[in-house]
Structure 1
Amino acid sequence: MVNKIAVLGSLNVDTTLSVQRMPEPGETLAVSKKKQAAGGKGANQAIAAARSQAETMFIGQVGQDEAGQMMIQALKDDGVDVSHIYEDSAVATGSATILLDANGQNEILVFGGANQNITGKTLNLSGLAGQDFLITQFETPQPAALAAFKQAKADGVLTILNPAPAHEILPELLPLTDLIVPNETESALLTGIEVTDLDSMQANAAAFKKMGIPNTIITVGSRGAFFATANHTGFMPAFKVHAKDTTAAGDTFIGALASQLDSDFSNIEAATQYAQRASSITVQRYGALPSIPTKDEIISANAEVR
C-alpha cells in the first residue's frame, strides 16, 4: 500500500557556505566552498516522502521569480504534485543561508519571503480529501497550519506537526494534531521539561498527551529517537555514521516516517527505524534536497546501530 501524503510548508533556495568553524561575534572568516540548492523544511519533507515512494502533494507559496520556478521544478523532478502551490507577485521566494562547519554542524539564517505571505486566499486545500497524512512545520504561518489541520480533520486525514523552528503553538492547533515530532530542544521549549534521559522523554510525551496530542516522537540527534503511542513506547538508537552535513536530517526523518507509517500507528517502531536509517544516509551527504535518499538506498543501507 502506498501512503498519500500532503505537505504544507516552506520552499527555500538554500545557499550553503562551508567554513572551518563558526565565527565569533564581529569576526570575519573565509568561506571555502559555496553551493546553492533547493531546500526549505517543507520541500525537504515532501522530497523525502516522495523518494520513499509515497504519493506526495505540496501546498505552499513561492514568488513570481526564477527562484520560485527552480523550487517548483525541483519538486516536479521527484514526482511531487505542485498544483497547489501559489505564485505570489508581491514578495520573493524564500531563501536560507546555511553556515556549515568542518564537523558537519550548521547554523541557518532563513528569509521567509513568500512562505510567510500565505493567507486564507492563497492557501489551496482542495486536494486534502483522500490523503493519509498532512505534515506541516513552522516555516509557514501557524494560522495556515490551523486552517489546514481543521480541513484535514473534516476530511479524515491524520495530521503530523513538526514544531520547527520552535515557537509557542496556537492552542487550537494542539487537539487537531495526531502526531507531534519535535527534536529535544523544541520539545523542552513546548513542555517546559528538559530532555535528558528516557524518563524525561516519557514525561514530555505525557505532557503532549495532556495538551491533546496522542502520539509523540522526539528526535535526539545522533542518539536516536523516542516514540510513544497509546500502545507502543520505546527508544530507537541512531545508526552509527560519520556526519558530514546535518542539514535536512530531521526533515528526511519526518518525510520517510510518514511514507511508512500505518494509519493506526501500529508500526511506529518499524517506521521510526526506517526513518532513522534514512536520516543516517542524509547526514553523510552535503546539501538539503540532494542528500535525501531513495527507498532503495534506505533498504539496502547496512549501517551499524549504536
Structure 2
Amino acid sequence: MRKITVIGSMNMDLVANVDHMPKVGETIIGKSFEEIPGGKGANQAVAIARLGGQVHMIGKLGDDGFGKTLLEGLTKDKICVEGVKIETNTPSGVALITVSEEGDNSIIVVPGANFTLNKEDIDKNIQIIKESDFLVLQLEVPLDTVKYSLKCAKELGVYTVLNPAPAQKLDDMIIKNIDLLIPNETELEILTGIEINNEEDVLRASKNLIEKGVKSLIVTLGSKGSMYIDKKGFKKFQAHKVKAIDTTAAGDSFIGGVCVCLSEGKTIEEAIRYGSRVGALTVTKKGAQRSLPYKEEIEALKED
C-alpha cells in the first residue's frame, strides 16, 4: 500500500433539507437542519481512509468549535493529521448546503481558515509530500498554493491528482503538472471554454487539456457514468444504477476510490470501476463524510 497525501479544505457543512430548491427571492420552510463534517479535501481524505488507504492530510482549521470537531473526525478515521494546523483568530471553513427531495444540492462555501494555507505551509510539510506516492488536490484553498504544491510534487516525482472544483480557469503552469485531472462536465467546460453538450464535446475539451500538458483525465458524467481520456484514446464506463438520496460528496468518494485502487497497483480501468461503486453507494445516504462508505460495504456491493 503506497501513501497518499491530500492537500485541501476542511469545512463544517450546514445542511438544510427542503422539498424543492428556492427560486430567487423565494423563502421556503426547511424540513431539517444538520451540521456535518465536510470540505472537499477532508471528504477525499476520509473516503481514502475508509477504503483502506494510507492517507495524510495537509490543511488549515480555525481555532473554533467547528475546527475541534473536524480535527477529531479526521483522527477518528485514522488519517494522519500532522500536516493540519490551527490558524488563530480565524474561523474554520463552512459550506451552506441545500438538499432537495430529489437528491439535488446547491452549495455555498465560505473558506475561512482554508484560504490561509500558503506556500510556507507547504514547505513546512514538504517531507510528508516527499514520502508520498500520490498527491491529491482540489480548488477550495488558494490557487497559488495549489500551483506551488503541484510544482513541488512533480519535482519530487510524486503522482499528482487534481479535482478542479470549484471550477475556475487554470494557467498552463498548473495544467502541465497534473498527471490525472478529474473534472465533471461543468468543470471541464469552465476549464476549456468549450461548451459541453455531448460525448464529442467532452473528447474535444479533454484533448485541449492534454495538448497543454495534462497526462490523463477522468470526466465524471453523473448518471451517465464517466470517460477516461489520454493520448492513446478514450474509454467509457457505465454508472451503477441507484436511487439517489443526496449527491453531496459523490465526486469526492469517486476520487477516493480511484486513488486507493491506483495506490494498490490496480489499472486505471479497475480504479474507475471501483470508484463508480463507491460513488454509487455514497449517494444512497445523506450528508458528506457521514455518507462515505467503508471498504467492507463496497465489497458487499460488488458481490450483489
TM above 0.5, yes or no, is yes
Which amino acid is the alignment partner of residue 207 of structure 1?
A: N
Following superposition of structure 1 onto structure 2, how do residues 32-43 of structure 1 map, counting pairs within 5 Å?
32-43=31-42
1:203 aligns with 2:221: no
Cα deviation 1:36-59 (Å, max 9, x = unaligned) = 111000000001111111100001
Residue of structure 2 equivalent to 1:277: 277
- Structure 1 or 2: more helix by fraction: 2
Secondary structure class of the residue paired with 2:237 = strand
Q: Which moved more, 1:238-247 or 1:200-209?
A: 200-209
Residue of structure 2 equivalent to 1:105: 104
Q: Is the 8 A contact 2:277 2:301 kept in 1?
A: yes
Cα deviation 1:9-54 (Å, max 9, x = unaligned) = 0000011100100111111100111111110000000011111111
Question: 1:263/1:74 Cα in 2 relative to 1: closer, same or farther (>3 Å)?
Answer: closer
Secondary structure class of the residue paired with 1:72 = helix
* Structure 1 portions without partners, runs of 5+: none
Within 1, Cα distance between the matches of 2:126 and 2:64? 23
Residue of structure 2 equivalent to 1:171: 172
Q: Which moved more, 1:170-179 or 1:211-220?
A: 170-179
TM-score by length of 1: 0.94
Aligned-residue sequence identity (percent) comes to 36
CA shift for structure 1 position 228 = 1.6
CA shift for structure 1 position 255 = 1.1
Within 1, Cα distance between the matches of 2:204 and 2:107? 30
How many residue pairs match? The answer is: 302
Q: Is the 8 A contact 2:227 2:236 kept in 1?
A: yes
Residue of structure 2 equivalent to 1:267: 267
1:258 aligns with 2:262: no
Secondary structure class of the residue paired with 1:240 = coil
Which amino acid is the alignment partner of residue 106 of structure 2?
A: E
Residue of structure 2 equivalent to 1:225: 226
Residue of structure 2 equivalent to 1:156: 157
Q: Is the 8 A contact 1:61 1:118 kept in 2?
A: yes
Residue of structure 2 equivalent to 1:82: 81
CA shift for structure 1 position 232 = 6.0
Secondary structure class of the residue paired with 2:85 = strand
1:294 aligns with 2:287: no
Within 2, Cα distance between the matches of 1:218 and 1:14? 25
Cα deviation 1:132-179 (Å, max 9, x = unaligned) = 110111100111111211221122110001110011113311111111
Q: Is the 8 A contact 1:63 1:91 kept in 2?
A: yes
Q: Give RMSD over aligned pairs.
A: 1.7
Within 1, Cα distance between the matches of 2:192 and 2:267? 26
Which amino acid is the alignment partner of residue 27 of structure 1?
A: E
Cα deviation 1:69-125 (Å, max 9, x = unaligned) = 111111111110000011101311000111000100000111100001112233333
Within 1, Cα distance between the matches of 2:66 and 2:279? 26
Within 2, Cα distance between the matches of 1:189 and 1:88? 32
Residue of structure 1 equivalent to 2:70: 71
CA shift for structure 1 position 198 = 2.7
Q: Is the 8 A contact 1:13 1:94 kept in 2?
A: yes
Q: Which moved more, 1:138-147 or 1:293-302?
A: 293-302
Secondary structure class of the residue paired with 1:122 = helix
CA shift for structure 1 position 230 = 4.1
Within 2, Cα distance between the matches of 1:64 and 1:176? 33
